[in-house]
Amino acid sequence: MTRPLIQYFLALVLAPLLPGIINRVKAFFGGRRGVPILQLYFDLYKLVHKTPVYSRTTTWLFRAGPVIGLAAMLCVLALLPFGGRPSFLSFEGDLILLVYLLGVARLATVLAALDTGSSFEGMGASREVQFAVFAEPAFFLALAALARGGGGLSLSGIFSNLTPAAWLTASPVLTLVTASLFIVFLAENSRVPVDDPNTHLELTMIHEVMVLDHSGPDLAFIFYGAALKLWALGSLIACVILPRHYGSWLVDSGAFILAMFFIAAAVGVVESVMGRLRLLKVPYLLMTALTFSILALIFQAGR
Amino acid sequence: MLLAVVSAGILVFSAALSLSLGRDPQKASAAGAAGAVIAAIIGLIPTVKILLYPAIETISFPCSLPTGSFTLVLDPLSAIFLLPVFILTAAAALYGLDYLKPMAGKKPLGTAWAMFNLLSAAMVLVLLSADAVPFLMGWETMAAASFALVVLEHEKPQVRKAGLIYLVAGGSGALFLLFMFSLLASPSGSVAFSSFLRPTGALASAVFICAVLGFGLKAGFIPLHIWLPEAHPAAPSHVSAVMSGVMIKMGIYGLLRVLVILGAPKEWWGWLLIVIGAVSAVAGVLFALAQHDLKRLLAWSSIENVGIITMGIGLGVLGQARSIPSLAALGYGGALLHVINHAFFKGLLFMSAGSVLHAAGTAELEALGGLLKKMPFTAFFFFFGSAAACALPPLNGFTGEFLIYLGAFNNIGPSSKAALPALIVITSLAATGALAVAAFAKAGGSVFLGEPRADSAEGPHDAGTMMKVAMAALAMLCAIIGLCSPFLIKPLAAAITPLAVSYPLLDAGVNMLYVSAGALTLIALILCVWALRSALSRGLPPVRGVTWDCGYAAPTARMQYGASAFTQPLTDFFQPLLRKARSYPAIAEYFPGTASFSTEARAVFYNHLYSPAGAQIKRLAFRYTWLQHGRLQFYILYIVIALIALLVWKL
C-alpha cells in the first residue's frame, strides 16, 4: 500500500517538471538559455500568494471550474499505473473512468470560461469541445487496441501484459498506438501543432484563452492541473514504449521517470521543429490519430 | 401487485376528480397532483418489493374482453420500468402545481391534470398487461392523453403542427403493433402473452420487424423520430419531462417484452439494433448540438439516449444469439440502468428548462444569458443534470454507460465472436459522450452564463417552491444512483433473467463498487481542493473588475460568443448531415452598413424523407376522391360490401 502512495506523490511532485523540460529543449533549439527548469514551481508558489481578481460577470461556477478540474486530474492520477505497477484505484474498467474524468475536467474548464462572457474565452471553449469530439474516439480505440492484446480491462493489467516480446511480434500495432496516443496527448495538452502555448494572439489560442480571466490561486490550480494532465497522458505513452520491467521497484520507477522526461523532451523537439496547424486542419490531424487507432485494431485482429 | 393496481385506480379516480372540478382550477390542480403523488407512493411499494425479492405476481380479472382476458403481471422487468414511471410522474406533478399556475383561467387546467394522470395510469397499464388487449388499450390511452397535453397551447401554429405529426406517428405505430400481435396470436388464437407460441423462422423475424417499427416510433429511433423533437418541446415542461423521461421508454419496454416472447433471437436482429442505436445516438446528439431552442435541444438529446439504450439492447441480443453470456448480460443490464438514469436526469433537465421558459418567457438560446445570477437554483440543477447527461462521474449517467462499455470491452479480445459490433458501440459511445459535452456546454453556457443577451433575460425570478422541491428530488436521485450503483446490480440481474443469464452482471458488481469508489474519491478530492482554495484566500475578499477581454475594458453583452457561434465549427463539419439553413449578406463595399445573419436547424428527415413521401401518398389519394363524396348511405353500402367480401373470403 505504501508503494502506490509513494508513486502517487512522486507523480504529484514531479509533474511540474515536465513543462520546464519542454521549455528547456525549446530554448536549446532556439539557441537561448531559457527559463529555469523549475520555473513552474516558482510560478505556482508566486500565484498561490496572490489575491485573485474576478470579473463582475462571473459566478461561483467560475471559481468551481479550476477546483473541479484539478480534482479530476488528481483522481485520474490515482488510476494510472506507474512504471508498470498498479496504482491504488486500479480496477477492471478503469480506462473508461479515466476518459470520463478527463471529460469532467473539460466541462468544468469550458463552463468556467463561458462564465466570463468574454468572446475570446467562448472561442477557446468552442475549440476545446470541438477537438475532443475527434480526440476521444481516437483515444478510446487506441486503448481498445492495447486491451485486445490481453491483460484485461485495467490499465495496469494491459500494461503489465505488455512485454518486450510484444514489441517484437506486434511492433506495427504498438507503433501505431504510440503515434495515435502521442497525437491525442499533444491535442489534449494543447501543444504544438494543435495549440501554441506561447502564442501572443488570443484569437488563435485554445487552452490559454480559456483561462485568461483566472488569476491568483485559481490560475495556479489550472497550471498545476495542466502539468498533471501532461503527466497522466504522457505516462500512458511511457508505459507503451517502456515494456521492460526489471522486477526491482526502484529501477522500474527510475526508468519510468526517465521515460517521462524523454517524452517531455520529444514534445519540446516537436514544438521546435514545426509550427502550429491552421485551426481548420486540426480535426484532420485528429482523424489521422483515429485512423492510426483503427489500423492498429485491424493489425491486432490479424495477428 | 394489488397495490400497483390500486395506484392505477387512484390515478384514474383523481383524473376524473380533476375533470369534474374543472371550474375551480386550484382544486382541480390539487386533486390531480395529490392523486399522482399518492398513487406513486402506493405503487412504489410493490415495485420495490418485486425488485428486492424477485417474483412474478399475477392478477386476473374475471371480466372478459372481446377477444382477450384482463390479466396483469408484475415481474422484475416491468418493475424496472415502473420505478421511474412512479417517481418521475410524482415529481412532475409537484412541479406542475407551480408551473401551470399562471395558466389558471386561460387554459382548462382540470382537463390538463386529468390527461396527465390518465397518461400515468396508461403507462402503468402498459407495463402490467400480460395480454394484447389491455396492452393496446393502455398504449392508445397513453397516446391520446399525451396528445391532449401536447396541444394544450393550441393557439400557437407550431404546436398544432407538432400535434398533427404526433397523432400520425402514434396511429401508424399502433397499426404495426396490431399487426404484430395478430401475427403472434394467429397460431394459438389467443392474445394472452403466456399463450403465444414461440414463432420461428420468417414469422419470428416479421414479428421482430413490426416490433422495431411500432415500438421504435414511440421510442424515437432515427429515422422514426420526427414527431419527438416537435411534440416534446410543445408540451408543458412537466409533461415534456414525463414524455421524454418515461413515455418513450414504453417503446423500449415493448421491444424487450417482445424479445422475451420471441425467445432465441437471430443474429441480424442484434446487428440491426446496434446500427439503429449507433445512428440514433450520434445523429441525435449532433442535431441536439445544432438546435437553437433549449427544449428542442433536450428532445434531441432524448433521441441520443434512446440510441445508447438501443445499442445496449443490440449487444444483448447479439450476445444471446451467439451465446456470449457476458455480452448479453452487460448489454441488457446497461440498457436497463440507462433507462432509469435517463428518466431522472432528463426529467431534471426538462424541469429546469421549464423554469427558464416560465421565468424568461422564451427558451431561445440566443436571447438568454446570465440567468445563473437570477435563478441560482434552476441553474445549479441544470448543470447538475447536464453533467449526468454527459455521463460524467460521480453522477448516475456514467453508471449505465459504464456497464455497456464493460460488455463491449470484454468482447474485443482476439478470441471474441463479437469484436466488430463491440468496437462500433465503443466508438459511437465515445463520440456521443464528447458531443454531449459540447451540446450541454452550449446550452448551459448560453442560457445561464455570461451577461443577458436580450431584454427578455433581464427580469426573471427563480422557480417556485414546488418546482424546486421536484428538481431537488430528482437531482438527489441522480447523485444517489451515481454513488450507490452496486446496490442496483441485483434488481437489474433479476430484470434481465427472462432474456439472458445474469451471473456476468452480478460479477460486474465488483467493477461498480470500484466505480462508486472512484466517484467518492472524486468528491473527496473536490472537497479537499476546495478547502485548500479557501485556505489560500486567507479570508481576503477578491478584487472585482470587468472581464479581461484582452485589454478591452468596455465589453458589452452583444460581444459574447453566441450559442450558434459556439457550435459552428462542429455543425459546419457535419453540415452534410445537418443541412442547416444559413443566410448572410455578401460584403460588396468597403464600409458595409447594417447586416444580419441567421441560421436555422432544419428537420432534415421530415423535409427529405417524409414530406416527399407524404406528397406522393396525397397525390395517389386524390385519384380516389370520387369515393369520398359525403353521402352517408353510400358509406354504409361500402361497409356492407366489405362485410360480404370478408364473408365470401372466409367461406
CB < 8 Å to A92, chain B: 406, 510-511, 514
CB < 8 Å to A212, chain B: 548, 550
Which amino acid is it at B118? L
Q: Kindly determine whether residue B544 and residue A129, on different chains, have CB atoms separated by under 8 Å.
A: no
> What does each C-alpha distance from A41 to A19, A290, B35 come to in angstroms?
10, 35, 62
User: Which residues numbered 75-94 in A keep a CB inside 8 Å of some CB on B?
Assistant: 75, 78-79, 89, 91-94
Say whether pLDDT at B23 is over 90.
no
User: Which residue among B504, B534, B564 closes a domain?
Assistant: B534
Q: How many domains does chain A have?
A: 1
Whole-angstrom Cα Rg for chain B: 26
Q: Determine the Cα–Cα distance for residues A262 and B615; give it in Å rounded to an integer.
A: 66
Return the minimum-mean-pLDDT range out of A158-172, B276-290, B429-443: A158-172
Reported as a pLDDT band with limits 50, 70 and 90, residue B456 is low
φ and ψ at residue A53, rounded to 5 degrees? -110, 125
Q: What is the pLDDT of residues B151-162, one digit of tens each?
A: 998 899 989 999
Q: Kindly determine whether residue A118 and residue B555, on different chains, have CB atoms separated by under 8 Å.
A: yes
Q: Determine the Cα–Cα distance for residues B209 and A145; give it in Å rounded to an integer.
A: 35
Say whether pLDDT at B68 is over 70.
no
Q: Choose among A100, A130, A147: nearest Cβ to B392.
A: A100
- Placement of cell 470491452 in the chain: B409
B383 shares contact with chain A (CB less than 8 Å): yes
Cβ burial, residue B101 (10 Å; 0-12/13-18/19+)? middle
Phi-psi region of B238 (alpha: psi -120 to 50; beta: other; left: phi over 0): alpha
Selection from B582, B549, B577, B548 nearest residue B564 by Cα: B582
Q: Determine the Cα–Cα distance for residues A83 and A124; give it in Å rounded to an integer.
A: 34
pLDDT score recorded for residue A74: 96
pLDDT of chain A, 303 residues: tens digit per residue? 688 889 999 999 999 999 999 999 999 999 999 899 999 999 999 999 999 999 999 999 999 999 999 999 999 999 998 877 888 888 898 999 999 999 999 999 999 999 998 888 999 999 999 999 999 999 999 999 988 877 788 888 888 888 888 888 888 889 999 999 999 999 999 898 888 877 767 777 888 889 889 999 999 999 999 999 999 999 999 999 888 777 788 888 899 999 999 999 999 999 999 988 888 899 999 999 999 999 998 888 776
- Evaluate whether residue B343 is within a structural domain: yes
Cβ burial, residue A63 (10 Å; 0-12/13-18/19+)? buried
In this structure, the answer to whether residues B353 and B454 fall within a common structural domain is: yes
A281 shares contact with chain B (CB less than 8 Å): no
pLDDT score recorded for residue B64: 64
- Evaluate whether residue B228 is within a structural domain: no
> Hey, what's the cell of B147?
396528445
Task: Quote the minimal CA–CA distance from B294 to chain A in Å.
Answer: 17
Task: Quote the minimal CA–CA distance from B591 to chain A in Å.
Answer: 23
Cβ burial, residue B484 (10 Å; 0-12/13-18/19+)? middle
- Placement of cell 455480452 in the chain: B327
In this structure, the answer to whether residues B519 and B645 fall within a common structural domain is: no
- Residue A49 belongs to what domain range? 2-302
Please give the interface size between A and B, counted as residue pairs whose CB atoms are below 8 Å apart: 249
B511 shares contact with chain A (CB less than 8 Å): yes
- Collapsing DSSP to helix, strand or coil, B194 comes out as helix
Q: Determine the Cα–Cα distance for residues B439 and B571; give it in Å rounded to an integer.
A: 11
Q: Are strands B57-64 and B543-545 parallel, antiparallel or unpaired?
A: unpaired
CB < 8 Å to B505, chain A: none
- Residue B396 belongs to what domain range? 331-534
pLDDT score recorded for residue A298: 87
> Hey, what's the cell of B79?
418493475
pLDDT score recorded for residue B589: 83
pLDDT score recorded for residue B369: 87
Q: Determine the Cα–Cα distance for residues B591 and A110; give it in Å rounded to an integer.
A: 35
Q: What is the DSSP string of B587-601?
A: P-SSS------EEE-
Selection from B299, B388, B387, B410 nearest residue B337 by Cα: B388
B550 shares contact with chain A (CB less than 8 Å): yes
- Evaluate whether residue B284 is within a structural domain: no
Q: Kindly determine whether residue A107 and residue B528, on different chains, have CB atoms separated by under 8 Å.
A: no
Q: What is the pLDDT of residues B89-129, one digit of tens each?
A: 999 999 999 999 888 888 889 999 999 999 999 999 999 99
pLDDT score recorded for residue B212: 96
CB < 8 Å to B398, chain A: 97, 100
Which amino acid is it at B325? P
Q: How many domains does chain B have?
A: 2
Best residue in B308, B409, B435, B577 to probe A by mutation, most A CBs within 10 Å? B409
- Evaluate whether residue B516 is within a structural domain: yes
Q: Kindly determine whether residue B402 and residue A97, on different chains, have CB atoms separated by under 8 Å.
A: yes
Best residue in A130, A180, A287 to probe B by mutation, most B CBs within 10 Å? A130
Say whether pLDDT at B457 is over 60.
no
User: Which residue among B534, B549, B570 closes a domain?
Assistant: B534
Q: What is the pLDDT of residues B387-432, one digit of tens each?
A: 999 999 999 999 999 999 999 998 887 777 888 999 999 999 999 9
Q: Choose among B423, B440, B550: nearest Cβ to A144.
A: B423
B281 shares contact with chain A (CB less than 8 Å): no
User: Which residue among B534, B555, B588 closes a domain?
Assistant: B534
B423 shares contact with chain A (CB less than 8 Å): yes
CB < 8 Å to A61, chain B: 372, 383, 449
> Could you count the other beta carbons within 10 Å of the beta carbon of residue A14?
14
Which amino acid is it at B143? A
CB < 8 Å to B530, chain A: 67
Q: Kindly determine whether residue B544 and residue A53, on different chains, have CB atoms separated by under 8 Å.
A: yes
Q: Choose among A132, A141, A218: nearest Cβ to B437.
A: A132
Q: Kindly determine whether residue A117 and residue B515, on different chains, have CB atoms separated by under 8 Å.
A: no
| Chain A, nearest residue to B544 by Cα | A54
Q: Kindly determine whether residue B555 and residue A103, on different chains, have CB atoms separated by under 8 Å.
A: no
- Evaluate whether residue B626 is within a structural domain: yes
In this structure, the answer to whether residues B359 and B491 fall within a common structural domain is: yes
> Hey, what's the cell of A33?
538559455
Reported as a pLDDT band with limits 50, 70 and 90, residue B584 is confident
Average pLDDT of chain B is 91
CB < 8 Å to B430, chain A: 99, 136-137, 139-141
Which residues face A55 on adjacent strands?
Answer: B545
Alpha-carbon dihedral angle through residues A214, A212, A289, A245, given to the nearest 10 degrees? -40
User: Which residues numbered 182-241 in A keep a CB inside 8 Å of some CB on B?
Assistant: 202, 212-213, 216-218, 221
pLDDT score recorded for residue B428: 95
Q: Which residues contact B471 (CB under 8 A, 6 or more apart)?
A: B91, B95, B348, B351, B352, B355, B377, B378, B381, B463
